[in-house]
Structure 1
Amino acid sequence: MTENKYKFNLPTSNNGTINIPLIEGNTLFVLGANGVGKSTLMHNLFSQNSNHAKRILAHRQTWFTDNAMNMTASQKKQTENSIKSTNSQIYSRWKDDYSQARTSLSIFDLINSENIRARNIADAVDGDNIELAKEHSRDQAPIQAINELFAISNIPIKIILGKDEQLFASKNGSEPYSIAELSDGERNALLIGADVLTTEPNSLIILDEPERHLHRSIISPLLTSLFRKRTDCVFVISTHDIHLPIDYQESSTLLVRSCQWVGKRIKDWDADLITADFGIPNSIKTDILGSKRELLFVEGQSTSLDRQIYQLIYPNVSVIPQGNCREVEKAVNGIKKTDNIHWINAYGLIDTDDRTPEQIQSLLEKSIVAIPFYSVEALYYHLHIIQEVANKISELTGQEASTLYQNATANIISDISQHKERLCSRLCEKKLRNDIMSSLPKHRDIQARGQFNLTFDLNTVLQNEEALFVGLVNDNNQLELLTRYPIRETQVLNRIASGLGLTKEQYENSVRKLILDKTEIKEFYRTLLQPLTELME
């Protein structure tokens, strides 16, 4: 992978020619109003990278003629070549001669990728390579990935591959029906998901106006999840929705304001590139007005574990990562102070960081819940959840669930014990930083012109925490050790997953699928997060 693989050279009237870096794993939003030349710009981008790019058009057809493969492999290849030729023509930015064929290709690729996975497993079994078969079976199936995307994106639809290679949908557990009967928005989400998930590795994915037919409470988590699943690709998203790049703060943004035409050709654009480390300027951020929304601000980044699991536990809430606890507090407090100009319910979720009961209660009164965990890993690697994953693997493979659970948890104490001083010091660090921030003098203290001193006996602080750590180890208190300390900094997580025959990523995918499939798992988490659940209810 190199920065020079993808080209995006943009002539501008204000900054000369901008060479926009496109790097796999990164996202660029192209933001601008109607008539500023975004469609031509995106066409030029595709033309510069046509050998390794997929373009998902804004004027794409969202309806299906049927719900099955309706072309042969040779017909598919021929159609793809014709579409590639058409995409290079300037008229493709407003006209599409292959709109119906594109939807057929999307369905073909989705079903075919499912079949390829099944054949890989079967070939390994036929070759008596059971370990390879298990490895292939642990790769997330494409349709399973689609269903996870739907759940995270607040779409109550489950896609099913039925007999004769036909795709069906089930809504909230209903009887299966053809995907052709889905709503416009549901079909659009399915097509976007299928196109992105089946794109060749290391590709440039150009997506025009993904918000068409989709409410922003759906498109934002849908895109974020697709970015996470295709980190081997680079995304360029053309949109009118200024909230999309705001929601995905790790992205860069190309602000397109106008363009200059010479005859039938655009000469240049009035545009500015705002890279990810600059963020989105306040001038394009607007207050969210309109219908009432539920917002949950959490720690972490947009592609971190936090957003993924909380969106599944609370599917009717928009989950917005804010980095750290101070940013979460700032976001919630900022909305609470301006509740006279909008209709938003905002909540915050942060780690306890050994806060006092008084501090926790004070935060709760501000709609911010401090959960008794060091980090979100405590939710994924809770002992009850490890047992549930073991049970699921047992159902699929016939292995003893008790043996799997024992293998997964056998080394928790010994693995954590090796890192006593570091784990305890990291916990103390978070606590002390919290104490320091909450103890800083206020402006009235400064006006009083007195002395400000803050002293800690660090030896005593660390010794007290180490004594607690030793007590938990001696009591074999696995659950408290997993929840209290930064276990992601040890080999514990990988050892738990490998004890179940999984990688860490496969284990975490399994946890999210459990939340999708089993109501009781979702309720377990909602009970575990009871203060937040009660606050929202």
Structure 2
Amino acid sequence: MGAWLELESNQKDIVRRISAQKSLSMPDFSHTSAIEEAECDLKYGYHDVKQVSSNPSHWKKSQRWGQKPFTFLLNDYEKLMVYLFTELFQKTLDHSEGRSSENNSILHKIKSIWESVLPHRELVIEAGRVKTKMSGGNSGLYNASDMSDGERVVFYLIGQCLTAGNNSILVIDEPELHIHKSIHSKLWSKLESEREDCLFVYITHDLDFAAQKSSAEKIWVKSYDGTNWVWSTLPEFEDLPEDLVLEVLGARSSVIFVEGTPNSFDLQLYSLFYSNYLVLPKGSCENVIQVVKGLNESGLINDKNVFGIVDRDRRVSAEISNLGKHNIFVLDVAEVENLFILPELIKLACETLEYKYEEKQAEIALKIIESLKGELDVQISKRTSSEIRHRLLSFNDKSNGLYKIKTSYTDVINGIDVDSIYSDVAKEFDEAIASKHYLDILKLYNRKSLLTFVGEVLGLKKGEYTNLITRLSKGKKKADVISALNDYLPNI
């Protein structure tokens, strides 16, 4: 797209494209030439102003881009330096001859911006060359050509932007390349401020960078078949983070949002099982629900599906059913940590550690059941409260007038039989305990510390059991781990 803007678009005469494929070889020394020739050579790749003016696009394509504008390795650092020193020489002459009251060259502007972005270094401008040293020091002076890739690319990018003509369109392909994230945004913000007359067009895969440009118009390029692009402009979103929207739009597969953080060990299980999806952690269950609903209702996501998976967390059947209507699925266990203590995964761990599975599983189940008995009233009470809270949500908050509001309130309250709810929940727990049905208990029992019982029985320290399952999922037991999860994770 950048090449098309530069060579084919209606604005091609004012486009300066900074390619991602470029040489960062900075010359040790630079000569000067006629200012018109130096500018022509930098812009079109050829110095003869008269010849170039007859067909600028031809010379730009053949000389600047070697007839391969999409793939050619741009090698114009020397041309940039020649122009900068020529412009410096011209400004100095104009000032000394009294033709200009100012002597502010582009090279000195580059020095100022470069040092503000990289404050630990200082540029020293000499006749025909640029050197650098530690900021504030008098020793350690060396040629700028020996700078790091990052330091040289910052100089190059500043130079390209500052040498572009007035009111240019600056097309920057992969603006993040070779630049550390800590200075990335600062550099481009300074250049945008310095060249307020120019339009900056960034072609990037860096979603964080794109999202930081909060006031910029975003264009999503969906596909390119070698001839045509399929693209659309992105509207503003009030309730959804823009970086999240960009990440989903840029994904090549459908997306599943889950609870947790990027470092959550359960995320690795989700990513393993849903290997054909992009699995993204989104913190709390409320965040997952909000994001999935928001994206699916936005009307933007037409070429892929967006799903969510949340913990059961004492949710009642009606709530689970309602979430399903929004592509949000609920785990078949109380919380994601309980996936790790499924019988099938415990069996894999026992086989690896050379324990008798039946004995260890029975011991683990007994510990979990005894733990549940010890806090049975707490678990029943929390489950009952969750049921009551869900029923209270049925209150019609759109009722108008005192009478209708009171009627809606009374209907909700009268429909909640606390004694009956508590009794039904207690019965469910009692039956699971009496039958010692391990899977029913994992579905009902909300307690993140259940994992510690498995570690104790298997003689493992805190965290070692989950690490073991994670290692098995990445090794020869990968298929077995996937098979173990198959009956418990939503079939999406």
> How high is the TM-score relative to the length of structure 2?
0.48
Bigger proportion of residues as strand: 1
Greater C-alpha Rg? 2
Looking at both structures, which has the greater relative contact order when contacts are Cα pairs under 8 Å and sequence separation is at least 6? 1
